[in-house]
Amino acid sequence: MEKPETRDFRERHFAVRGGVAVVTGASHGIGLACARRLALDGYQTVLVGRTADSLKTVEQSFASQGLEARSAICDVCDLDAFASLIDGLDRLDILVNNAGGNRPGPFVDVTRQDFDWLLDLNVRSLFFASQAALRKMMQMGTKGSIINMSSQMGHVGLPKRTVYCLTKHAIEGFTKALALEAAPFGIRVNSVAPTFVLTPMTEGYLADPEFAEFVQSRIPLGRCATPEDVADAVAFLASDAAASITGTSLRVDGGWTAQ
């Protein structure tokens, strides 16, 4: 058995290897916060998204702050295009599978189209993005990290979110299984499971006073998370401070799932 490397705590704490981090859904919300945080930590960040204008705006913003980043226009549901993007990188240390979505509604009203859309975006694309990244890391001998954006709904249920909960529970199971396959190569796989986060995707739901009150009542800390809260968790899992953590779900949920 390989002996763990011993380093001074000051060297271990959020140590950065100056590598390359790919973040999907990076043009706004949680993905943008994760990309910015990793860039601030010294990673060359690849911003993946579907909209050229949004990505270019983010890239220019990063450049103005002296952060290394480049945009890559790619729909993660185009599996071949994303695999080609990963294959074309000179280096890959971190993949943050953040792209995802939701179409809430009563179970009896779920259409096959909505079901397929959510499974394709939240599960299928994440699965094959991870496959492409793992192959690249193995090929290069990189002891990297794959971080999957899950949700507290990967641990509990909520009405009108049957398909979303299904996809996030799938991500949690996938994370554990892949962590076991990747561990012999020194590659770690974890998930981050946020509560409701104040983003463009959730602002419509939280605009309903009754639903907003329900959400706040379920969070013991009394507030929704911010994108930066989630980005901090991602940065920790990406860092050497989490060198012995794999197959784990880090819940950024304000205590929701502790009840």
Residues with active-site annotation: 164
- Closest Cα partner for 32 from 252, 235, 202, 231? 231
- Any alpha helices (H) in 88-194, and if so which ranges? 112-119, 125-140, 162-182
- Any alpha helices (H) in the chain, and if so which ranges? 9-12, 29-40, 52-64, 79-87, 112-119, 125-140, 162-182, 200-206, 209-218, 227-238
Distance from first CA to last CA of the chain, Å, rounded? 39
**CA–CA distance, 250 with 152 (Å, rounded to integer):** 10
**CA–CA distance, 56 with 62 (Å, rounded to integer):** 10
CA 228, distance to chain mean position in Å, is 13
